Amino acid sequence: MLFQSDMGHQSVDQVERTFWAERSDLEDSIRGFAGDLFRFAMDRCQQIDQIIEQHAEHWRMERMAAVDRNILRAGVAEFLCFPKTPKPVVINEALEIARRFSTPESVQFINGVLDSVAKELNSTS
């Protein structure tokens, strides 16, 4: 949904409507989690992007590949929205998505950025 919103410049409601129309077979718990994470990421996008840029040395959000940018947004949003989820679990899930939809170099980049964010969040909590 984050990728769809980013690339299509659609509203949250438009994205949710079209995204779920094609995925009606998913369990309610999955839909609820994904919807909560998406809405949180959209509501706090500016803050999330700032966090990512602080940890992605020499990279601005607009220069990142759209897939990578949105995987990072989802990971940081999950760190913030669901702090009880172990950070290594969030990172591993993000890396699995990156392995499927991005490049090997991107997997390393995403791992480095999310690991750095996780360490900072652990030190401030």
How do residues 30-42 score in pLDDT, each as one tens digit?
Answer: 889 999 999 999 9
Percent of the chain with pLDDT over 70: 99
Domain that holds residue 102: 2-124
Mean pLDDT of 2-10: 91
Rounded distance between C-alpha atoms, residue 55 and residue 47, angstroms: 13
Residue 51 has pLDDT above 70, yes or no: yes
- Which residue is it, tokens 């706090």? 44
Q: Would you say 57 and 92 are in contact if contact means Cβ atoms under 8 Å apart?
A: no
Six-digit token pair at 30? 């999955």
Per-residue pLDDT tens for 97-120? 999 999 999 999 999 999 999 999
Q: Quick check: 76 and 52 in contact, CB under 8 A?
A: yes
* Number of alpha carbons in the 13 Å side-chain half-sphere of residue 59: 20
Q: Looking at the 3D structure of the chain, how many domains does it have? A: 1
Quick one: pLDDT at residue 59? 92
Read off the DSSP letter of residue 16: H
Q: What CATH number is given to the structural domain containing 117?
A: 1.10.940.10
Per-residue pLDDT, 125? 62
CA atoms within 13 A on the CB side of 66: 9
The rounded distance, in Å, linking the Cα atoms of 51 and 75 is 11
Q: List pLDDT tens digits, range 20-31.
A: 888 878 888 988
